[in-house]
Amino acid sequence: MTYEEMHAVVMGFPGVEEGQSYGAPAFKVAGKFLTRLRREDQSLVLVDVSFDEREMLMEAEPATFHITAHYKDYSSVLARMESLHPGSFRNFIERRWRRVAPKKLVKAYDAERA
């Protein structure tokens, strides 16, 4: 996935705002974290990923999914942007967005898609 594809996916959700985190692009909704790009390895930080799911992802696609020591105790996984499929990224972001976005945004989004 390219940076442009990633940007289009995440900005496609209502209320998403672009900002900076640790000097790199980051995205939030209603002030709550969605994802950010790690400059160190061009990986995206994906949160709300259970430890079991994370282990499965890292085993199934080690070229894409990984963690660093910093993330070992968090329900997060890192995904190398270059090998992450845009559809998979969209699913991770939608799951997180639904969890942290204001309920009225989620309701309007669902109504528009129905």
Model confidence over 46-79: pLDDT tens digits?
999 999 999 999 999 999 999 999 999 999 999 9
Question: Kind of pairing, strands 76-80 and 32-38?
Answer: unpaired
Is 29:17 a contact under the CB 8 Å cutoff? yes
Find the helix or strand (DSSP H, E) in which 86 lies.
Answer: helix 86-100
Q: How far apart are CA 35 and CA 25, in angstroms?
A: 9
Per-position DSSP letters for 22-76, written without gaps between them? TTEEEEEETTEEEEEEETTTTEEEEES--HHHHHHHHHH-TTTEE--GGGTTSSE
The pTM for the full model equals 0.93
* Whole-number Å distance between alpha carbons of 32 and 2: 24
Residues in the chain predicted with pLDDT less than 70, given as ranges, are: none
Confidence at residue 10, expressed as pLDDT on a 0 to 100 scale = 97
Sequence ranges of the domains in the chain: 3-103
State residue 114's pLDDT score.
Answer: 85
